[in-house]
């Protein structure tokens, strides 16, 4: 058990050092430092596999005040590298609370640091972009730590780290859906289960032929971590099934769907992470507040030469937030319509996916 008020250092790749108080696991870690603007939902964020390998900064000043509960996990084994907060609530008060944030991070072997100026840290990330960082306990020679940090090469196999290794079912009585797991959030499964779907969750390495043999009513491409160009085998799989089954892609699944149809992606300066991102649907002008967590985006100027059309844009930076195939029953969105945590403005997209499946079955005479 670590001592109270034990110091911990956050060292950025550019040499900036923040000194704070340690909580969570007592280990040193290195990862990409990012920030989330959500005011709540820290449990869902920490357990979101899209944060694999990243040190997660919460911009909201108080984190941990309602503890950890059994209902809000987005994965059982979180793989973010560390947690940064302004103030870590030592006392958790909520009727669902089972253990404190500190106890949770200790059990999951994730270090945390509190008592630093997260506003200043966020300004650095916004100005210079996401960068490598390390959480260490004081004691080692700082020059050695900085040199080691700069020399560290971050892994590029994040999807392989978090995707299921074997297929498994989530039985239902309705439409049959294959869910390709690139690092899925449990809330996606919850939304599909609410609609009584019969789910089969499969590894990211599944081939088009294997999906065709399963003959589903539709295919879901889930969220996940990292750079979509690091998952090239998924593009052949998507191209092999998109003229056979309706497809719905979310976040990384959206990027892969766009790339499979000829679009390109690029790394954003600091990404979109939070639950207050306004997105406009182009056809109707409808504006939804959405939950987002991504560091890459589809290049808007690459869509013109494809069979895709842009359906949604982010209001602030005009980045691509949704696309639809012009001729096939397939679409994708960059944001999280499952929204856990976050607003549920866009959960109607799951209903649109169900309607697309039914229309496709009716067209093929499967009813």
Out of 48, 102, 338, 345, which one is annotated catalytic? 338
Lookup: tokens for 134: 């390390």
For β-strands 17-24 and 7-12, DSSP reports them as antiparallel
E strand residue ranges, the chain: 7-12, 17-24, 29-36, 54-58, 62-63, 82-84, 87-88, 111-114, 131-136, 168-170, 176-180, 198-202, 218-221, 247-250, 265-281, 287-298, 308-314, 320-325, 330-333
State yes or no: is 80 an active-site residue.
no
Lookup: tokens for 324: 């639809």
What 3-state DSSP class applies to 305?
coil
State yes or no: is 338 an active-site residue.
yes
Is 148 flagged in the annotation as binding?
Answer: no
Is 293 flagged in the annotation as binding?
Answer: yes
Out of 254, 272, 277, 336, which one is annotated catalytic? 336
Out of 80, 251, 272, 288, which one is annotated catalytic? 251
- Phi-psi domain of 350 (left: phi exceeds 0; alpha: psi -120 through 50; beta: other): alpha
State yes or no: is 251 an active-site residue.
yes
Is 296 flagged in the annotation as binding?
Answer: yes
Find the helix or strand (DSSP H, E) in which 184 lies: none
Is 322 flagged in the annotation as binding?
Answer: no
Is 24 flagged in the annotation as binding?
Answer: no
What amino acid positions are annotated as catalytic residues? Answer: 251, 336, 338
Residue ranges of the annotated binding site for L-glutamine are 50, 224, 226, 252, 255, 293, 295-296
Residue ranges of the annotated binding site are 50, 224, 226, 252, 255, 293, 295-296
């Amino acid at each position: 058990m670590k001592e109270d008020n034990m110091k911990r250092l956050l060292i950025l790749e550019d040499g900036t050092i923040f000194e704070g108080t340690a909580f969570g696991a007592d280990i040193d870690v290195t990862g990409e430092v990012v920030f989330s603007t959500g005011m709540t939902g820290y449990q869902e964020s920490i357990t979101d596999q899209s944060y694999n390998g990243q040190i997660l900064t919460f911009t909201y000043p108080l984190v941990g005040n309602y503890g950890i509960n059994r209902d809000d996990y987005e994965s059982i084994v979180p793989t973010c590298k560390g947690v940064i907060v302004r103030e870590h609530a030592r006392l958790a008060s909520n009727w669902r609370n089972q253990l404190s944030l500190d106890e949770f991070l200790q059990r999951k072997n994730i270090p945390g640091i509190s008592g630093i100026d997260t506003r200043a840290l966020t300004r650095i990330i916004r100005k210079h972009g996401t960068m490598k960082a390390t959480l260490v306990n004081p004691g080692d020679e700082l020059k050695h730590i900085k040199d080691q940090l700069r020399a560290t090469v971050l892994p590029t196999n994040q999807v392989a780290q978090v995707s299921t290794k074997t297929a498994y079912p989530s039985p239902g009585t309705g439409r049959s859906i294959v869910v390709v797991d690139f690092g899925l959030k449990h809330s996606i499964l919850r939304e599909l289960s609410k609609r009584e779907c019969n789910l089969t969750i499969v590894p990211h390495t599944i081939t088009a032929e294997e999906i065709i043999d399963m003959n589903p009513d539709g295919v879901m491409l889930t969220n996940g971590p990292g750079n979509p160009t690091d998952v090239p085998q998924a593009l052949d799989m998507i191209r092999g099934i998109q003229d056979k089954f309706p497809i719905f892609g979310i976040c990384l699944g959206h990027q892969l769907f766009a790339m499979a149809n000829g679009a390109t992606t690029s790394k954003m300066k600091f990404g979109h992470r939070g639950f207050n991102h306004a997105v406009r649907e182009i056809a109707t002008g409808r504006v939804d507040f959405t939950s987002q967590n991504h560091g890459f985006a589809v290049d808007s100027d690459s869509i013109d030469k494809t069979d895709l059309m842009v359906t949604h844009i982010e209001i602030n930076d005009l980045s691509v937030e949704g696309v639809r195939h012009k001729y096939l029953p397939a679409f994708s969105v960059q944001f999280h319509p499952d929204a856990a945590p976050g607003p549920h403005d866009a959960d109607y997209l799951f209903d649109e996916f169900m309607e697309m499946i039914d229309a496709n079955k009716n067209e093929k005479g499967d009813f």
